[in-house]
Amino acid sequence: MARNTVALTTEEALAIAVGAARAAAVLLVERFGGPAAGLRAKSSATDMVSEADEGAERAVVSYIRERRADDALVAEEGSQTKGRSGVRWYIDPLDGTTNYLYGVPHWAVTICCVDANGALAGVVYDPLREELFSATRGGGARLGDRPLRVTDKTDLATALVATGFAYIAEDRRLQARILAGVLSEVRDVRRLGSASLDLAYVASGRFDAYFESVDQPWDWMAGGLLVREAGGRVSELRPSRAGLPNIVATAPAIHDPLTRLLSKAVQSAQNSID
């Protein structure tokens, strides 16, 4: 495979992201449901990594490096190169590790290619359902070959909202209080355990909205591109402390109402523990 050290098109970036995600998925599907080899904790006792995560990351990194030798790579399990091409790849080889380790069939490989103008192409791949969510900058979002569109939800009170929780116990206690302030104001809340799939589901209209405290760009950049290219809105908030929601992705009409609700819920939660 010829190596390329120059700028690439959205189509080329997407093809590489898709190929890399499929390469990781082969290993992950083979090992899914088996014993969790090499299991260890990362940031806390509830933040786990296994040999499956690391093997999948190696597969993604190898695939991209063979084609884009001078690009920067930033991956969840530690693979990192600075690069010199101006192109960067954000990689989460297994988003939903806890689900994976427990045999819950809800996890994904997510990859986003970024250039000087932001996210260029991204994929969220759920190999168990054979669902490949993809997006390119200015080219729209798709599930397979089907164009995606966010919902036309206008009433937050009837919105189905997704979220997630942190690994740190102190942050979780705060997030539980925030959730209490949101739950009574929406149709319902789902916590499925994969941020990238939550965002893909917003893009595809399965969820109306999503919010979470997301630590790293690989967790949400591909999914964020999906939502934007599907006609939704994505905001990066600047919370006053760790553990507070910093990513909000929604159907357009409910974005501001949800952001205001979160601000109110955050204030109430913080007051309750001060």
Domain with residue 245: its CATH number is: 3.40.190.80
Q: What separation in angstroms does the CA of 204 have from each of 47, 148, 214, 223?
A: 28, 5, 21, 11
* Final residue belonging to a domain, choices 117, 147, 177: 147
Regarding whether 216 and 134 lie in a shared domain, the answer is no
Q: What is the mean pLDDT of each run of 10 residues along the chain (274 residues)?
A: 65 98 96 66 53 90 96 80 91 94 95 97 99 99 99 99 92 94 98 98 99 92 98 91 90 98 93 75
* Final residue belonging to a domain, choices 87, 119, 147: 147
- In terms of pTM, does the model score above 0.75? yes
Token pair of 269 as six digits: 């939660």
Regarding whether 135 and 160 lie in a shared domain, the answer is no
pLDDT at 212: 96
Structural domain harbouring 84 = 10-147
92 domain-assigned: yes
Q: Give the pLDDT confidence of 10-26 residue by residue, as tens digits.
A: 999 999 999 999 999 99
What DSSP letter does each residue of 184-228 carry, written as one string? TTSSEEE--S-HHHHHHHHHTTS-SEEEE---SGGGTHHHHHHHH
pLDDT at 41: 53
Regarding whether 82 and 49 lie in a shared domain, the answer is yes
Q: In total, how many domains does the chain have?
A: 2
Q: What are the backbone dihedrals phi and psi of residue 93, each rounded to the nearest 5 degrees, phi first?
A: -70, -20
CA distance 101 to 177: 28
Regarding whether 199 and 105 lie in a shared domain, the answer is no
Q: Give the pLDDT confidence of 116-152 residue by residue, as tens digits.
A: 999 999 999 999 999 999 999 999 999 999 999 999 9
